Amino acid sequence: MTNTIETYLKQTCSVQTASGYLFTINHFLKTNPKAKRYKYQDIVNYMDEVSQKQANIQYRIRILSAIKKYYDYLVIVGQRSDHPCKRLTIKKPNHQSVQVQDLFTGEELLLLLTRENRYQHLDTRNNVLLSLLIYQGLTSEELTRLEVKDVDLDNGTIYIKASTNLNRRTLELKNKQMLMFAKYINEVRPVLNKYKTNKLLLGKLGRPLQVDSIHSIIEPLKALFPERNLNPRTIRMSVICNWLNESKIPLERVQELAGHKWPSTTEKYIKANAENERELINRYFPM
């Protein structure tokens, strides 16, 4: 049971995120004793005060994300029936937004798993690789860094190492991935592994896959969408967009799934359905 805001944050965020949000929320409540009854305009006014004290966009986005969590909690425990700032956002200046209309739906991405291969053993390997693209939204670089030890079939998870631009994370595997991963690791990969490497994904000659190899695997699939730009990057972008807009996963959770360091990076993938609110916040934070 969610008894306190601290418990709620620990249940819905990573340990580090929960700690940061709790600090921000406590400061917000201390300086705004009537916050429990705040309306939309009250929060816009508060964010206006924040912007006057701190021009850093990422800092302000972090504060707003924490405040949103506070009102999420109030709604869940029944202390409020409405969320006063759920759609309130802060746009990052001079930052090109994602053209979400050019991306692929979840149903379209599943078509990528229908490809057949002429080389023995590669069907299973390609299905493993493609499933990590369309279900976990990994980058090409993350795929090349994967090792066998990163896959935990007992718990149904895969560990993704941190990089310069992305956070580390442990992601759940889909039930439909479990059999293909078990077959690949236990039957197919030992046949391919001529060089005794620990890397998970191997080419037909036994060497670890490189980024160029992954792009080559995607290349024949472009015929499915001849008028659109299909590559590992647009697949990942589509997955993130679908998490937010098709599956309605909360932004903070999508940020963690994608490994984004900042909420503003994830926010770019939200389809415009509250343009009036965005215009209002832009007036309070002139670019």
CA distance 255 to 100: 17
- Residue 17's pLDDT is what? 82
Note the residue count of the chain.
Answer: 287
Residue at token pair 């972090």: 62
CA distance 62 to 106: 29
C-alpha distances (whole Å) from 227 to each of 103, 220, 221 are: 12, 14, 12
- Supply the angle between the helices 251-258 and 57-76 in degrees, to the nearest 10: 120
Given phi > 0 = left and psi -120 to 50 = alpha, else beta, which region is 61? alpha
| Cβ-contact 259, 169 below 8 angstroms | yes
Q: Which residues of the chain have pLDDT under 70?
A: 1-2, 55, 91-101, 116-121, 272-287
- Residue 97's pLDDT is what? 59
* Bridge partners for 157 per DSSP: 152, 172
- Residue 283's pLDDT is what? 46
Per-residue burial over 157-175, b if 16 or more Cβ lie within 10 Å, else e, is ebebeeeeebbebebebee
| Strands across the sheet containing 169-172 | 151-152, 157-160, 169-172
Q: Which domains does the chain have, with CATH numbers?
A: 5-94+272-284 (1.10.150), 100-240 (1.10.443.10)
What phi and psi, each to the nearest 5 degrees, are found at residue 145? -90, -10
